[in-house]
Amino acid sequence: MVQLKMPSSVADAWPENAWISRAERPVQTATSGPLAGLRFAAKDNIDAAGFATTAACPAFAYEPARHASVVQRLLDAGAALLGKTNLDQFACGLNGTRSPYGAVPNAIDPAYVSGGSSSGSAYVVATGEADFALGTDTAGSGRVPAGLNNIVGIKPSKGLISARGVVPAAQSVDCVSIFARTVDVAARVLAVAQGHDAEDPYARRLAMATTPLPAAFRFGVPAPLAFCGDALAEQAFAEAVERLRALGGTPVAIDYAPLAGAAALLYESALVAERYAAVRGFVDAHDDQIVEPVRSILLAGKGYSAADLVDAQTRLRAFGQQAAAMWDGIDVLLVPTAPTHYTVAQMQADPVALNRNLGAYTNFVNLLDYAAISVPSSLRPDGLPFGITLIGPAGSDWQLADLGQRYHHATGLTLGATGLPLPPPVPIAALQPAATVDVVVVGAHLSGLPLNSQLTERGAVLLRADETAPDYRLFALPGTVPPKPGLLRVAPGRGARIAVEVWRMPATAYGSFVALIPPPLGIGTLSLADGSQAQGFVCEPLALEGAQDISHFGGWRAFLRDRATA
């Protein structure tokens, strides 16, 4: 069924170096299901029966007796498996050049690296050869290749997708990741792939958030940020901040030091011993079959004691405690997926330092038990893709997918390297819309006026400017601070249309908002010009005796402008 190519040198590699093995015919076990009609590829550290699992090391190859749990779930859902993709050997790297099967090129510009370790999986999705692909992510391998190839990469919460049948890299922090050209497809795959598996020692049952992030949300921006001298990446990130702001976000500077401290532990402490432990039987017997610098990284794990590991784990917990405070002030964290691009030649000339740079904003995520999604953000003036990553606490996967899809569709980008347009967005099925209340405001709560913050602080968003039905009179209430109007319903034919704004507020915040309204004002049901009704500001009739009727101005703003110029 499978033609497995085992090149003896890079010169013998497949021309595109993205595939290690392909099926003569796609493997399919079901013709119906939620993923019917979709073709996928699996990174070659994930078992698929009938394919050798090599982890990009021919001497390590073995024939699995059954599919990995995640592969079986996808096949049962109607997806068809095309084959196995290339990777940085033993999933150790973020650049895509550490494989005896050759360096996987960037799908947009082949002179540049694809990112790794899930390099082949990202490439076949970006070029349209597969509809989606499985990768793995320990330190960013499900995100960096997505960002460098103009595609989506979901890095789920740890334990959400079973890792049974996956060659471990660092088993306590490994995740199976998903690449697709749209968030919709990636989220559909995640919905099928997730599920507790007692055969995975690190599987867990998570409480997943099932409502979207607030319409007015706060996003963290690390300070300081570094882009390895890449001014185009820095500018692209500044544009990303503004785009997220336009979607309702407010940027909040966060201290990156504890996140960076956690990230450094992955390779610069005894935590690297877990890399060695994952494949130590093979490493001890066949270290001469491992490419550099993977060999040196794995062997470095042999030099630590158990006490060293306990110390590193304690330091990691300390960084986690420090980082946890940031979630009190933000709903989501925004980072560049990768701070820059490197050519294949640059990476091969300085493979350790440049690889470390690519993981500057990814290495901490699994260590601190966060979920993440990388989405395309822009094409730089030099034509290279720039991606951003949205990060949230464990269990926020669907919220991140929802915001990620909104962001991706706001970019106007095409799909991967195909040049095809983005299809319309699709609601994230696992999310239930949060309950909301529409509130009609007429005076000091209008946008830009003194009491508008009482709305925005509660996550309310402006839906539209509107008018009431022609059955209302507007009065300037004397002695109010700040100045306020009173709206009164009158008999048909005796009123006017009054300018208003309609705001949408989370239902959970509505009670605290109403509690702020002083008499003689209150909330009642208003009729709008189109015949619809909504909750809005009204006034007790007795309070209007002697008040100035300002209905002829048509609204509170017009009255204030007239008073200012009088």
Closest CA to 454 of 531, 521, 532, 541: 521
Is 118 among the residues known to form the active site? no
Whether the Cβ atoms of residue 548 and residue 473 lie closer than 8 Å to each other: no
Phi, psi of 271 (to 5 degrees): -60, -25
Whether residue 117 is preceded by a cis peptide bond, meaning omega within 30 degrees of 0, is yes
- Are 363 and 271 a contacting pair, CB within 8 Å? no
Helices 69-76 and 183-193 cross at an angle (nearest 10°) of 110
Strands (E), 194-244: 217-223
Question: In angstroms, rounded to a whole number, what is the distance separating the alpha carbons of residues 342 and 120?
Answer: 17
Return the structure tokens found at 44. Answer: 């070659």
Smallest CA-to-CA distance from 57 within 87, 82, 19, 83 is with 87
Residue 350, classed as helix, strand or coil, is coil
Query: Helical H runs in 108-256?
Result: 119-126, 144-148, 183-193, 231-246
Task: Determine the Cα–Cα distance for residues 271 and 154; give it in Å rounded to an integer.
Answer: 24
β-partners of residue 153 are 179, 374
Q: Is 117 a catalytic residue?
A: yes
Are 241 and 334 contacting, i.e. CB atoms less than 8 angstroms apart?
A: yes
246-264 burial by CB neighbour count: b if 16+ within 10 A, else e?
eebbeebebebebbbbbbb
CB atoms within 10 A of CB 49: 17
**From 43, 84, 155, 484, active-site residue:** 43
Q: Which listed residue (69, 99, 117, 162) is catalytic?
A: 117
Q: Tokens 């009670």 map to which residue?
A: 511
Say if CB 386 and CB 377 are below 8 A apart.
yes
- What span, in angstroms and rounded, lies between the C-alpha atoms of 213 and 228? 32
Active site residue 43: yes
Three-state helix/strand/coil letters over 94-119: CCCCCCCCCCCECCCCCCEECCCCCH
Query: Please, are residues 259 and 222 in contact by the beta-carbon 8 Å criterion?
Result: yes
Q: Which of these is catalytic: 141, 157, 162, 374? A: 141
Q: Return d(Cα 566, Cα 564) in angstroms, integer.
A: 6
| Bridge partners of residue 526, in order along the sequence | 534
| C-alpha distance across the termini of the chain, in Å | 87
Name the residues annotated as catalytic.
43, 117, 141
